Each structure stands twice: as C-alpha cells, then as structure tokens.
C-alpha cells in the first residue's frame, strides 16, 4: 500500500469515527443542526448513521473529481478522497465539540 494512501485511510477512519461520536453526543445535549444541507437531507431520509455515511460517500466523489481530471494515478485519487473526507470529518467533529462545550 502506498504511504499516502495509508495516511489518507487513517485520517478517514479517525475523522469519521470522531464525527459520528461527537454527533451522537451533540444530539444528546440538545437540538442538533447538520451544517450541510445535503447532509441534512440524507440524514432525514436514511437516519443518522446511514445518512452520515451517504454524506461521506458524496463528499468522496466530489473531492475525487479534481484529482481524476488532473489525470492522477489511482493511489493519489484514493489518498485525496479518503484524506480529504477524513480532514473534513475531523473539522466537523471539532465543530461538534465546540457546540457541546456551549460556545
């Protein structure tokens, strides 16, 4: 496995796990509002976990498009997809933590 792909996968697992966990905690502490309109619709339609997974998959497709258009090889595209969604998920988890803290 390419090193970049391994880092991207690690970021993905960390970010998605943190995002789902902090979302559950945020919901338990009061009303939760999904920041993404597409994510909100998917969560309303499929439920929290399946909707969040669908949102992550949609994000992966959107993030991968520029790498594919730039004619990168498969490992780079996968690393960008997983790493990009992982970083965005970590940011979402940070936002959830700020909301849980009451800020």
Confidence (pLDDT) at 14: 96
Query: Residue 103: what pLDDT?
Result: 61
Supply the pLDDT for residue 33. 66
Quick one: tokens of 90?
Answer: 């970590």
How far apart CA 76 and CA 42 sit, in angstroms, is: 28
Q: Does the structure show a pLDDT above 70 at 65?
A: yes
The residues spanned by each domain of the chain are 3-101
Is the pLDDT at 31 greater than 80, yes or no? no
Q: 3-state SS string over the chain?
A: CCHHHHHHHHHHHHHHHHHHHHHHHHHHCCCCCCCCHHHHHHHHHHCHHHHHHHHHHHHHHHHHHHHHHCCCCHHHHHHHHHHHHHHHHHHHHHHHHHHHHCC
């Amino acid at each position: 496995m390419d090193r970049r792909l391994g880092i991207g996968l690690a970021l993905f697992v960390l970010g998605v796990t943190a995002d789902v966990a902090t979302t559950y905690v945020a919901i338990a502490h009061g009303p939760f509002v999904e920041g993404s309109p597409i994510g909100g619709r998917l969560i309303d339609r499929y439920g929290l976990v399946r909707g969040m997974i669908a949102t992550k998959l949609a994000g992966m497709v959107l993030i991968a498009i520029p790498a594919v258009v730039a004619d990168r090889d498969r490992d780079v595209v996968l690393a960008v997809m997983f790493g990009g969604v992982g970083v965005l998920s970590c940011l979402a988890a940070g936002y959830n933590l700020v909301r849980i803290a009451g800020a």
